[in-house]
Structure 1
Amino acid sequence: MMPIDVRALEIFRAIADTGSATRAAERLHTTQPSVTRTILAFERACGFKLFERGRYGMALTEPGQVLLASVERNFAGLRTIQRTIRELKAGLHGALTAAAIPVLAEGEFGALVGAFMREHAQVRADLRVSAPDLVLKDIVTGEVDFGAVIGPAPPGIDLATLPIGRRTMGVAVAPGHRLADRRSIHFRELDGLPFVLTVRSHNSSVAVEAMMSEFRVQPSIIHEAGTQRTAAELVRNSGAIGFLDYEIIATLPPGSITAIALEPEVAWPINLLYRRDRKPSPVFAAFLGWLGSRASIA
């Protein structure tokens, strides 16, 4: 079997890309005679011509095109190996551990971690989906590197906070509801209507209960749902009023729910939380640096 000279393959790729031994030499920071000698020797070793030479440059022969496709596939593998070596040197192997509430794990948070994993293929993700109080417990006890929540960290807990987005709440009604043609509605106008609320630990329920107290609104009945999607189904079928994230509403089947802007607006930041007194693992340190680079680009 003919031994494969990686340098000859680099020269072969460079000529195929530039169409010229001279330009290939410039790209590879070498001389044109060296490139010419190497490619001629490579053609003799292959036993067939790789290029047709003409006054306007060098064009791949049919066998050369077939070989180039194979070389490109294998160079992609070599680049993966080189990236793995760099990541291992930098300590980027192991797991990135995190926790998030369901609505974030299925949205912004999952997308963010997935983008990091795409760029760091040797890192394994260990993502937990939990209720807000369990997410905070996992962060505080060190069970995870970090977590994602809607709203700020609870008072009395010294956690670093990184904002990654924003969520806004709207009023959700079934399409045939008498309020369905409204573009916006003040919360006090909802007095006496049936409400669907998520569990009390959810930010939307906390916000709705605060407004009920501020504007002295009394719903005729309060239904409780474990998740926002469950709340949406109750709204769609019962005729009650729901309070959902616009991001959740956007993922529902078209025409199943009508969203109305709420006055006053209710919005929360989406935050990543982590212990500032705990030395980050190499993987988590790389993730924080990656987040910083994305923020600077944005």
Structure 2
Amino acid sequence: MDIAGLQAFVTIADSGSFSLAAGRLHLTQPAVSKRLAALEAELDTRLFDRLGRAVRLTEAGGVLLPRALRILAELDDTRRALRNLSGVVTGPLTLATSHHIGLHRLPPVLRIFSSRYPQVRLDMRFMDSELAGAAVLRGEVDLAVITLPPRLEPPLEVLPLWPDPLIAIASPAHPLAEPATVTPESLSQYPAILPSEATFTRRIIEEGLARLGVTPLVAFSTNYLETIKMMVAVGLGWSILPRTMRDADLVELSVDGLRLERALGVVRHTGRTLSNAARAILDTLRE
């Protein structure tokens, strides 16, 4: 079975478009169509229905897709294993990370790594931690440096790197900033600005507040912690953020019984062979 045809098939299925697939593969659209046609001829079956500009998998295409993904993943893993035999740290390295970690944790690591291994072609992809973990599972990225999920199942595994204490914060002018100690009940009386519901951080916050009997009055939510920090600083509500984000525009609220922490670290796929470049950046992160 032709590998180029399988790559074209998988890319068309993922993008839902011959033109988008051509862009991703750095080919012309006729070249992509030719590769797919050759694969369909080899298998003697139609893999897509063409619906105007859109394409949809046929029943046969749906059967082939997971098998094609496994074949391509196995081929990539074989290539990495063979390249590793040289011991040279070179080639591509695709990392997924969140904007917060990319801003506050990774710069010194990347500075050291790029100076040590200039032959590595680093591809950084910024996305929510939850999406990054899923990208590792699908084999789209080598590693994800993210907020670690509270629970994770094989074939993924985690390497915790940085404990990240979370604190309740408000602007100095906020009513909650006046008392020396804030009762959990008083938090429910004022609007809160929290990370989006789908995030690992929001889950950690809600579970911690629930243990204190607090149901926050959420006025706004967003995935971007820097945006939350700005909204809290101008007095639009209180929040719970990493202690590392507190500055002169914010005060830490001493809340009875509130002790929260998330873990930041690496997620990898145990079924994939790590390249020398991936092993090297893991060693750099551990330092």
Cα distance in 2 between the residues matched to 1:150 and 1:261? 24
Distance 2:125 2:216 in 1: 35
Question: Within 5 A, what are the aligned runs for 1:183-222?
Answer: 185-222=182-219
Asked if structure 1 preserves the Cα contact closer than 8 Å seen for 2:201 and 2:262, the reply is no
2:260 aligns to what?
266
Partner of residue 238 from structure 2, selected from 224, 241, 262:
241
CA positional deviation for 1:185:
3.9
Residue from 132, 141, 146 that aligns with 1:144: 141
Could you tell me whether the CA contact under 8 Å between 1:167 and 1:245 is conserved in 2? yes
CA RMSD of aligned residues (A): 2.6
> What are the residue-to-residue correspondences of 1:32-43 with 2, within 5 Å?
none
The equivalences for 1:89-108 within 5 A come to 90-108=87-105
5+ unaligned residues in a row in structure 1: which ranges?
1-86
1:172 is matched by which residue type in structure 2? I
Relative to 1, partners in 2 of residues 1:138 and 1:177: Cα closer, same or farther, differing over 3 Å?
A: same
Work out the CA distance in 1 between the residues paired with 2:266 and 2:165. Answer: 17
Q: Deviations over 1:185-217 (max 9, x none)?
A: 453441322111121123332233224433332
Give 1:165 deviation, angstroms: 0.8
Say which structure, 1 or 2, has more relative contact order (CA 8 Å, 6+ apart): 2
Asked if structure 1 preserves the Cα contact closer than 8 Å seen for 2:166 and 2:260, the reply is yes
Q: Which is further off, 108-117 or 211-220?
A: 211-220
Verify: 1:257 aligned to 2:250, yes or no. yes
What TM-score, normalized by structure 1, do the two folds share? 0.60
| Corresponding residue pairs, total | 203
Whole-angstrom CA distance in 2 between matches of 1:119 and 1:242: 40
Q: How far apart, in 1, do the equivalents of 2:279 and 2:92 lie?
A: 12
Shift of 1:232: 1.7
> Counterpart of 1:286?
280
Q: CA deviation at 1:275?
A: 0.9
Any unmatched runs of 5+ in structure 2?
A: 1-83
Cα deviation for residue 289 of structure 1 reads: 4.2
Cα drift, residue 123 of structure 1:
1.6
State the identity as a percent: 19
- Bigger radius of gyration: 1
Distance across 2 between alignment mates of 1:271 and 1:116: 17
Q: Distance in 2 between matches of 1:183 and 1:119?
A: 49
Q: Contact (CA 8 Å) 2:164, 2:242: kept in 1 or not? A: yes
